[in-house]
Structure 1
Amino acid sequence: MGFLRFGSWPRMWPFWLWLTIFYSAWLTLVLVGGHVSTVLHHWPIALTMSVGSYVAGSTPMGGGTVAFPVLVLLFDFPGALGRNFGLAIQSIGMTSATIYILSSGRSVDWGLLRPALVGALIGTPLGAAWVAPWVPDLWVKLIFGVIWASFGILHLVKLRELVSAHQSSRQWHRLDLWIGLAIGVTGGIASSITGVGIDMMIYATLVLLYRTDLKVAIPTSVILMAFTSVVGIASNGLLATFRPEIYHIAPEVFANWLAAAPIVALGAPFGALVVNLISRTPTLVVVSVLCIGQYVWTLVHEHVTGWPLIGALVGVVLFNLLFHGLYTLGKGNALISGNPLELATDELDS
């Protein structure tokens, strides 16, 4: 089983070529650059990303969703470092998963994805230049916590219905261009602040509003996050070159990336493979609980009180109101159209 089921070998040649090029380049960089000790010294983050990369490939969450709380909350690094590392490591892991997804012919919602990619190309650099540098470190952590706690609550409440959807609503596809652009621009700005977020936005739209099968929604979110990560880390690197006093990238980002990159290059596509072979429910439940846990951990660890605490609590409420609005619109359309699959799901939930 395993990698032997990566699809037709002739069709998978872009994926194998990518792995060959990446590991050759990484090995050359480590050996010629004298970074062996750096890789060995940073083994904890490599171990962490073995889990993070699986999550990145098998759920609508980037590997930065695991890396950010570990670096920022466990190792006490600043939020900007967690963001930049998340973007850098996702540029390898989720790009690897993307090449696997495209090579293996997985179903992707291109109608919504294409305009979202354009929006991300606009929103991510704008957010990196004009928004992210001015967001206080505490608020970077809180925004991250709010986004993924809301994701966790969404799945714990609606999980059975989400995993039961098998058909996409045609009504909303008429608005693909505008919905996709909105997701891309706003999600790109959010990702420029925390390193993640745009993947959750397109995923929530697909599963709640469009009622899309998770086997389509998850690969779509992976591709969008991979693209946004490449644009994000490239934007940050370019900005740091010209204005290092404002857009500084800490050396620890490169050191951690060097140790974790060879892990995520295989871990993320492995997650993309596994999601089609086993039930998605256990993985999503565990990840959702962890998302809520890191939110609580952030509030306690950072001793959040006063207005920041109120903002963090209100943020979760607002996100879930948005999710509920998307869900209501999607459910209403299912009832009007009489989609038998979605009506059957509604009867099971009643």
Structure 2
Amino acid sequence: MRLDKRLTLAIPPLVWLGWYFLPAAPPFRAIAEHWPISVTMAFGSFIAGATSEAGGAVAFPVFTKILGIPAGQAKLFSLATQSIGMGSALLTILLLRIRVEWRAVFWAVLGSVPMLCLGLMTADLIPASAVRMLFTVTQSSFALALWWHNRDSNRDRHASLPAFGGRERLTLLSFGMLGGLISGLMGSGLEIIVFSVLVLWFRLCEKAATPTVIVMMVLTSWSGFAMIYATGRFVAPVTDYWLAAIPIVAMGAPLGVYVCSRMSRVAVVYTLLGLIGLELLSSLLLIPLTAQLSLAAIALFLAFSCVYYSMYRSRRYLDRAPTLR
């Protein structure tokens, strides 16, 4: 085993050591009191490392729909926990020398961070049910687009960005801004928005796009965590939930990265589709749907789907770079 691979095994113990000596309540008591959080993040952190979904994409619906945690607390928890779990995943990506499209990372994060701040400031103005439904709509419309994308097994999929000029920078900056705003409202969202652009528009292979969006979400989560800490919003019970999750995500996210590096592209795709299908079903069963909320959700779903479909149908980046099948 290479030295860099062996070093990945040291990531969880180092995080556990720091977690144990945090100047807060006894950490093991946090796990005992909030064990459903730990169980949720065992699954969520693995998914965050293995797919383009951040850990908050699992935590947010489970917290708000099953555990009855307010959406505002779930959002803050997602950003704080992703800063640890996906930070561990980032170290794993670097040590395993997994390829990342750093140009895409720079421009997407440049757009996401200012809009993340805006989303954090305005989230309390939006009803919790609307925020939960917005989460479902963004996920479901992307699942439909990803299904379109994978119906054609002969569709070109690039191993790297096929071009990188002013148009590509502006595209990544714009969608980074949209993803940052959604992340500010829900704690995650940047990863699925930018993943859609990389896969549908730039025709990047899903396995190449996944580590790239993980790095984007790490940098955005760190920025969000710094914002909520600086504004005094990182307080109990969110801090207690965070303590219960840290030792779990420090192990789950790196494990997910390693498994993803061994998975086929098709397996990554169908894992995503299955997760999003479960999320949609839970929303239909658990969110009280008024006529106004239903109409707004349908309108947003159609809008996102039209954008995704137009990217899917585009031939701009067809045969512009070496491809994967």
Normalized against structure 2, the TM-score is what? 0.90
Aligned partners of 2:214 and 2:152: how far apart in 1? 21
Letter in 1 for 2:137: V
TM superposition outliers: structure 1 runs of 4+ over 3 Å: 10-13, 15-21, 160-164, 166-169, 171-174, 337-342
Gaps of 5+ in 1: 242-247, 346-350
Aligned partners of 2:26 and 2:287: how far apart in 1? 37
Letter in 2 for 1:135: I
- Is 1:94 equivalent to 2:70 in the alignment? no
Q: How far has the Cα of 1:309 moved from its partner?
A: 0.5
- Is 1:233 equivalent to 2:225 in the alignment? yes
Structure with the larger helix share = 1
- Is 1:333 equivalent to 2:317 in the alignment? yes
Letter in 1 for 2:108: A
Q: How far has the Cα of 1:172 moved from its partner?
A: 5.2
Q: 1:24 aligns with which of 17, 21, 28?
A: 17
Q: 1:45 aligns with which of 29, 37, 41?
A: 37
Letter in 2 for 1:192: G
**CA-atom RMSD in angstroms:** 2.5
Aligned partners of 1:29 and 1:169: how far apart in 2? 41
Q: 2:3 aligns with which of 9, 14, 34?
A: 9
Other-structure match for 1:195:
187
- Is 1:146 equivalent to 2:130 in the alignment? no
Q: How far has the Cα of 1:121 moved from its partner?
A: 2.4
Bigger relative contact order (CA 8 A; separation at least 6): 2
Other-structure match for 1:119:
111
Other-structure match for 1:72:
64
Range with greater deviation from structure 2 (297-306 or 55-64):
297-306
Q: 1:264 aligns with which of 229, 249, 255?
A: 249
Q: How far has the Cα of 1:103 moved from its partner?
A: 2.2
Other-structure match for 2:290:
305
Q: How far has the Cα of 1:206 moved from its partner?
A: 1.0
Q: How far has the Cα of 1:332 moved from its partner?
A: 4.5
Letter in 2 for 1:333: Y
Q: How far has the Cα of 1:29 moved from its partner?
A: 2.8
Letter in 2 for 1:71: F
Aligned partners of 1:287 and 1:180: how far apart in 2? 22
Letter in 1 for 2:224: G
Does structure 1 conserve the Cα–Cα contact (< 8 Å) formed by 2:52 and 2:191? yes
Letter in 2 for 1:42: H
Other-structure match for 1:295:
280
Deviations 1:182-219 (A, max 9, x none): 12222111100011111112211111111112222000
- Is 1:107 equivalent to 2:89 in the alignment? no
Does structure 1 conserve the Cα–Cα contact (< 8 Å) formed by 2:160 and 2:208? no
Aligned partners of 1:257 and 1:97: how far apart in 2? 17
Range with greater deviation from structure 2 (102-111 or 283-292):
283-292
Aligned partners of 1:270 and 1:234: how far apart in 2? 26
Distance 1:161 1:41, change over 3 A: farther
Equivalent residue pairs, number: 324
- Is 1:316 equivalent to 2:308 in the alignment? no
Distance 1:223 1:338, change over 3 A: closer
Distance 1:147 1:268, change over 3 A: same
Q: How far has the Cα of 1:108 moved from its partner?
A: 1.0
Gaps of 5+ in 2: none
Aligned partners of 1:283 and 1:49: how far apart in 2? 19
Q: How far has the Cα of 1:19 moved from its partner?
A: 4.0
Aligned partners of 1:280 and 1:340: how far apart in 2? 17
Other-structure match for 1:348:
none
Range with greater deviation from structure 2 (286-295 or 158-167):
158-167
Aligned partners of 1:74 and 1:313: how far apart in 2? 24
Other-structure match for 1:245:
none
Distance 1:253 1:159, change over 3 A: farther
Aligned partners of 1:250 and 1:141: how far apart in 2? 22
SS of corresponding position for 2:47: helix
Highest CA radius of gyration, 1 or 2?
1
Q: How far has the Cα of 1:338 moved from its partner?
A: 7.2
